[in-house]
Amino acid sequence: MPDRLDGIADTGLDEALLELVIDEHRLWALPRLEKNWTYFRDSGEPAGPSGGGLAELPRLSGQTAGLPARFRGSGGGADAMRPEIVIENDIGWRVQTMVDFMFGKPLQILSTASEPELRRTIERVLDAVWEASGGIGLLQDVALLGHVHGYVDLLLRIDEAALTTGGRLIDALESGAREDLASLIRIEPVEARRGIAVLDPDDYRRIDAFVVHVERALNVVEGLDEGVLKNGKKTGWKPVPLKKKKEKGKARRRVGTVTEVLGRGHRVVYEDGELVARESSLLLPGVVPVVHIQNMSQPFRYEGMSEVEPLIGLQDELNTRLSDRASRVTMSSFKMYLAKRLEGFEKSPVGPGRVWATDDPDASIESFGGDSSSPSETEHIEQVREAMDKVSSVPPLAGGVVRAKIGNLSSANALRITLMSLLSKTSRKRVTYGAGIEKVSRMILTALDAAGVLRTGPGDRGIRLVWPDPQPIDPSDAVVAAKQKVELGVSDERVLAELGYGPTDAGVT
């Protein structure tokens, strides 16, 4: 009987180690990563069973789980007594603002090759590959995943057989067909919830193998009572249908797994543990085609630092206080009445011009309630918000919230000083993201050279990135700066590219 994971030895792993790393990732890393994504996305989930179907279920915010138990209520008929829940997702807009400052504008990937003609060819090819893979949208996705989880991996996929057969790459470049080019060579982001790195025991920065493990719903219907465990036991990483008496006979989609293992020059793919693809790389032998990017570097750790994780506690506190305030406002904003010895009062609505009559001289109606200020509550909420500003380095001004206390922002320098913490953090992250982009680009040039499509030497594969200014720039100031660069000897082509003009723009040569 053939091995269930036939071909796994090619990648440098064995069956036991593969199952172990997947189990460890599911038990230890995945809960934390799921929590980070939940707090960023704050997507609603059904609150409970309903006879009207899924569409009629009340939906709870994902951040509701961080509120104290008193906000969850007792369910059943006690919904009217359940405190109001207010969720203000400060994490979401802060992360989106950081991504906008990182990749709000396209960056330039420039070659440092000595020959001008080769340099232009390299830049044209790299620009086409990155654009075919998603362009600025790809970079924004990479930054978003990195900011939420703390790190992201880039996977380089190459159709080696097609790439080495004549001029298909040149034809794709000349025709501008992004689909054709993407089928030959493509860059894919791998989310931390799906990607598992098997690291060198002696060097945490070196990847021995990389596993992409995905569970997916198939277009196959099965009953929950039809599943049978293989060999009488669960494998640990292959999902099996559940068996519940109360759900017996109900149908659901079958869930399958796809596990892709990338070793040094080898790639194997399994569906539900059965081998479906097995390849060896001739263009990148001995290389795992995966580039790791940390959001912010963390010494001696493979994982980087997440922007979401340190904000979760403050977000819970903010949601708790906002919900408490909502309950207080609901109770105190409306007048309430206490009627004594007045029959039928509870059945009569309170309104202007309404008169109650009684013969009881001891009857009375007393009002109480009404809104009242709570300075300590307001101050506490503001302090929590300011704490989130400090931890994230994202002031409200970066999100478009202008307050009177920021002073006069009549110049770009004044705005830069106000956003100094965010700009400094963005510059720091450009080091890690930029290193990943450069490494992927060099890997692409290495593969193209091995395929004989674009001949380059190791010294020709140097890459330099030109990052745009995240702040808005006055067009007149940009033109003055461009003229000064031309006077210093910078080529017209490069200066025009920095201004956003391409070779196809009218009047540009």
Give the model confidence (pLDDT) of 353-385 as tens digits.
Answer: 777 788 888 888 777 665 666 788 889 999 999
Alpha helices in 222-311 (DSSP H): none
Q: Are 227 and 272 a contacting pair, CB within 8 Å?
A: no
Instruction: Provide the 10 A C-beta neighbour count for residue 138.
Output: 19
Helix (H, G, I), strand (E, B) or coil at 294: strand
Average pLDDT over residues 447-472: 90
Task: Report residue 373: phi and psi, to 5°.
Answer: -75, 155
pLDDT for 1: 32
By CB atoms closer than 10 A (0-12, 13-18, 19+), residue 69 is exposed
Q: What is the pLDDT of residues 401-419, one digit of tens each?
A: 766 555 555 566 667 777 8
pLDDT for 74: 52
C-alpha 476: how far from its chain's center?
A: 36
Residues in the chain, overall count: 509
Q: What is the pLDDT of residues 111-145, one digit of tens each?
A: 999 999 999 999 999 999 999 999 999 999 999 99
pLDDT for 182: 79
Q: Higher pLDDT residue, 471 or 275?
A: 275
Specify which residues 458 forms β-bridges with: none
Check whether 441 has a pLDDT greater than 90. Answer: yes
Q: What is the pLDDT of residues 277-301, one digit of tens each?
A: 999 999 999 999 999 999 999 999 9
Query: Residues of the chain with pLDDT > 90: what percent?
Result: 47
What is the rounded CA–CA span in Å between residue 153 and residue 193?
Answer: 11
What is the rounded CA–CA span in Å between residue 215 and residue 256?
Answer: 6
Q: Are 119 and 113 a contacting pair, CB within 8 Å?
A: yes
What is the rounded CA–CA span in Å between residue 92 and residue 299?
Answer: 27
Q: What is the strand order of the sheet 251-262 is part of? A: 195-200, 203-223, 251-262, 266-271, 274-280
pLDDT for 417: 76
Instruction: Provide the 10 A C-beta neighbour count for residue 333.
Output: 11
Q: b/e per residue, 241-269, with b = 16+ CB within 10 A?
A: eeeeeeeeeeeeebbebebbbbbbbbbbb
pLDDT for 123: 92
Q: Please give the span between the terminal C-alpha atoms of the chain, in angstroms, as a whole number.
A: 67
If residue 199 lies in a helix (H) or strand (E), which one and from where to where?
Answer: strand 195-200
What is the rounded CA–CA span in Å between residue 495 and residue 502?
Answer: 10
Reading the block at residue 182, the tokens are 């993407």
What is the rounded CA–CA span in Å between residue 410 and residue 264?
Answer: 56
By CB atoms closer than 10 A (0-12, 13-18, 19+), residue 188 is middle
What is the 8-class DSSP label of residue 361?
T
Average pLDDT over residues 461-473: 85
Q: Which amino acid is at 145?
A: L
Task: Report residue 252: phi and psi, to 5°.
Answer: -155, 170
- Tokens 């674009």 sit at which residue? 454
- Tokens 């009569």 sit at which residue? 348
Q: Which amino acid is at 26?
A: R
pLDDT for 501: 67
Q: Are 265 and 280 a contacting pair, CB within 8 Å?
A: yes
- Cβ neighbours of residue 181 under 8 Å, at least 6 residues apart? 128, 129, 132, 169, 172, 173
pLDDT band at 339 (very low <50, low <70, confident <90, very high): confident
pLDDT for 472: 66
